[in-house]
Amino acid sequence: MPHAPRRLTIATRDSVLDLLQAESIRARLAALLHAGGVIGVLRVPMHDDRIGDAQPSSNGAREGFIKELELAMEEGRADLAIQALKDVPMELSPGFTLAAVVARDDPRDAFVSTRYARAADLPAGAVVGTSSPRRAAQVRELYPHLAVESLHGNVDMCLRELDDGRYDAIILAAAGLKRLGLATRIASLLEPDECLPAPGQGALAIECRTDRRELVTVLEALGDRATTLATTAERAFSRALGGSCQLPLAAYAEWEEGSLWLRGLVANREGNDVVRGEMDADVADAEGAIQLGRDLADNFLARGASRFLSP
């Protein structure tokens, strides 16, 4: 491994969840620096403080805060940035690379309610809040008797609105709740068969400038091969279908007896028109993972999935 820099600065969005995520990487990165190395954290303020710890509600919001992090690296105020992989665009800005994807935390969605243990327990007309078109479409498909409404704000705001009675239940990413120390708020976890996760959900990505080759090599040591290949297949599937946070699209890959098993889903926002599919392959490297994602996307397109995609 090349000689690690004596001082590094991590850029992160200035929210409680992002700061916790950055701290988890900072602690692991500290072990790679030689004695006396210093790792700082640069809090990058975002222009829309409603985003907080929840999923951004639009491509513009998501790309906006990522541009802010990349600007900090371009200007030399930071060396790397930590982001939730599910929020990273499928195409990175020129001059930037994902140096590492760390071992994945819980990829599932969480059902949160003060009165009901499972989504299946909700009575007709119950109100479910979610910020994700992907989650909304799958809930509407499985439980057409429920009312699904938009959820906005950071996790604390979402939980407050639930507690105030605006919603009977809300659905959030399990990994985020657990990182915030709020696992006790989870009534139950939605298994992939019930609600397929977003591409990259539960994983953290480390981004830096492509020309920082020595730093890239150091950061690669933090990556997890199994997670990297699985999420590479998920993102390749999404990229091939032009996925965005406004398209109800899901993809989740997991290892089964040495093969990578990829499941995908695309739907309309109402959840009454859904295409599902799955495919497995022996995957040894990134190229194999990308090919698996593309092959599944081709299968979807052959079955008419283009009807869901923007022209």
Active site (catalytic) residues? 87
Q: How far apart are CA 226 and CA 132, in angstroms?
A: 26
Strands 204-209 and 96-101: antiparallel
Residues 6+ apart with CB under 8 A from 9: 39, 40, 41, 42, 77, 78, 79, 80
Q: How far apart are CA 299 and CA 201, in angstroms?
A: 23
> 310: how many CB neighbours lie within 10 A of its CB?
7
Phi–psi pair at 108, nearest 5 degrees: -80, 165
Region class of 3: left (phi > 0), else alpha (psi between -120 and 50), else beta: beta
Report the greatest alpha carbon distance in the chain.
Answer: 61
